[in-house]
Amino acid sequence: MAEHLFDHDRLDVYRLSIEYVATAFDTARSLEEPNRSARGQ
């Protein structure tokens, strides 16, 4: 089944922002003390 792409899915800035969010989430998830409070930021 072919995946339908919306117009915004084709934008480079949209794809890059999704990658950035994923990377930031992974980085925040790995934070340990004393930086653990930065997770919610």
Percent of the chain with pLDDT over 90: 20
Determine the pLDDT at residue 39: 66
CA distance 20 to 3: 22
CA distance 21 to 28: 10
CA distance 1 to 18: 23
Q: Which residue has the higher pLDDT, 25 or 5?
A: 25
Q: How confident is the model at residue 33 (pLDDT cuts 50, 70, 90)?
A: confident
Per-residue pLDDT of 12-25, as tens digits, reads 888 899 999 999 88
CB 21 within 8 A of CB 29: no
Question: Closest by alpha carbon to 28, among 41, 15, 13?
Answer: 41
Residue 10 has φ and ψ, to the nearest 5°, of -90, -10
